[in-house]
Amino acid sequence: MRNIVILISGSGSNMAAIAQAAQREDWHQKFQARVCAVISSRPDAKGLQMATELGLPTQVVDHRDFADQADPRAAFDHALMQAIDEHQPALVVLAGFMRILTPAFVAHYAGRLINVHPSLLPAFPGLNTHQRAIDAGCRFAGATVHQVTADLDHGPILTQAVVPVLPEDTADSLAARVLTQEHLMYPQAVAEILGSLRKSF
């Protein structure tokens, strides 16, 4: 069985889209794969309740618990790796996971770690992507699913979705339009990866 671990920090809407697709499309039978755990960096993440309602095991590795360590980021990432590795994942999916991961963490999951970013990379890496797109006068925006590397939001692109930027758009209205596409493209991208893994055996 190919285990998928999803990491969240907030609402978990992309996590839910992936988990629902896995159930609806029977990834267990089709790909011998399952979403086996949802891990949050925040104990108050709304996505934890959503995951529970979907019947998924949840866990919290709170980044604030490591604030007094000599290297808080490294200590957090080490604890997170231990939690993830208990599931022997074929794929680790970042779904609104709001932590910058250390190079050691990224290297540990090289080729197995993917993310969705709310811009058409390489444009607008980092935060505040929608307002930056509006301020730049972009006529189109979108989202990108990519492999994660040590360079923030610069990994190999797997797929992209494009939406128009309307004259009346605010950052919130554009974000909502992009998020709708993320909910469609991210599960599809995960399914395509699982399909390629199946063919490799």
Catalytic residue list: 117
If residue 27 lies in a helix (H) or strand (E), which one and from where to where? helix 27-31
* Opening angle at CA 195, ends 190 and 196, nearest 5: 100
How far is it, in rounded angstroms, from Cα 171 to Cα 194?
Answer: 33
Alpha helices in 41-156 (DSSP H): 46-53, 72-85, 103-108, 129-135
Contact 156, 146 (CB under 8 A): yes
